[in-house]
């Protein structure tokens, strides 16, 4: 525990660091400073208490920086590829979405046509049943004329339903 009074250059030499690094260390550790007669700064320091491990020279960091730059370039290229792939997937999604919308519209149209066809079929079945009932109950001339009109209406209904089903 002997306190020594050293210049920044001498402190740097003892710790294997530069004078500027020794000055930064003295400031960081809040070591007491004073001025010598020749105007140089002196630092009071107990070297046994200073635990300082010098950093590797800056030359080693240059290699690491180059590796990191290369990694950044590689990652940027990957990001660009992923963005392009995502744009392709987005286009596929939009196409399939439009296709699903078209199919849904067709399905709704087909369901409406099916419902209309079932209603027409039920109406026609009712008319056929009424005609059969009329034919069984009697064969008078009046009934025969009425049945003939109903058969004509039934034929017209069938032709109309067929035209609707054909789309025109």
Q: What is the pLDDT of residues 70-129, one digit of tens each?
A: 999 999 999 999 999 999 999 999 999 999 999 999 999 999 999 998 998 888 888 888
Rounded to an integer, what distance in angstroms lies between the CA atom of residue 105 and that of residue 112?
Answer: 11
Q: What is the pLDDT of residues 114-132, one digit of tens each?
A: 999 899 888 888 888 877 7
Q: What is the pLDDT of residues 29-43, one digit of tens each?
A: 888 888 888 888 898
Rounded to an integer, what distance in angstroms lies between the CA atom of residue 122 and that of residue 104?
Answer: 27
Claim: this prediction has a pTM higher than 0.85: no
| Structure tokens belonging to residue 107 | 């399905």
Query: How many of the other CB atoms lie within 10 Å of CB of 16?
Result: 10
| Structure tokens belonging to residue 125 | 């079945």
């Amino acid at each position: 525990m002997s306190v020594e009074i050293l210049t920044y250059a001498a402190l740097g030499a003892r710790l294997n660091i530069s004078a500027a690094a020794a000055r930064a260390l003295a400031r960081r550790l809040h070591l007491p400073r004073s001025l010598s007669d020749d105007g140089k700064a002196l630092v009071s320091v107990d070297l046994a208490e200073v635990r300082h491990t010098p950093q590797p020279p800056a030359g080693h960091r240059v290699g690491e920086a180059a590796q990191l730059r290369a990694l950044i370039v590689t990652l940027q290229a990957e990001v660009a590829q992923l963005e392009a792939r995502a744009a392709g997937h987005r286009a596929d999604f939009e196409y399939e979405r439009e296709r699903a919308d078209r199919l849904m519209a067709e399905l709704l149209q087909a369901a409406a046509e099916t419902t209309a066809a079932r209603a027409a079929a039920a109406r026609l079945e009712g008319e056929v049943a009424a005609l059969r009932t009329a034919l069984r109950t009697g064969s008078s001339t009046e009934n025969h004329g009425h049945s003939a009109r109903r058969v004509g209406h039934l034929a017209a209904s069938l032709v109309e339903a067929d035209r609707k089903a054909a789309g025109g």
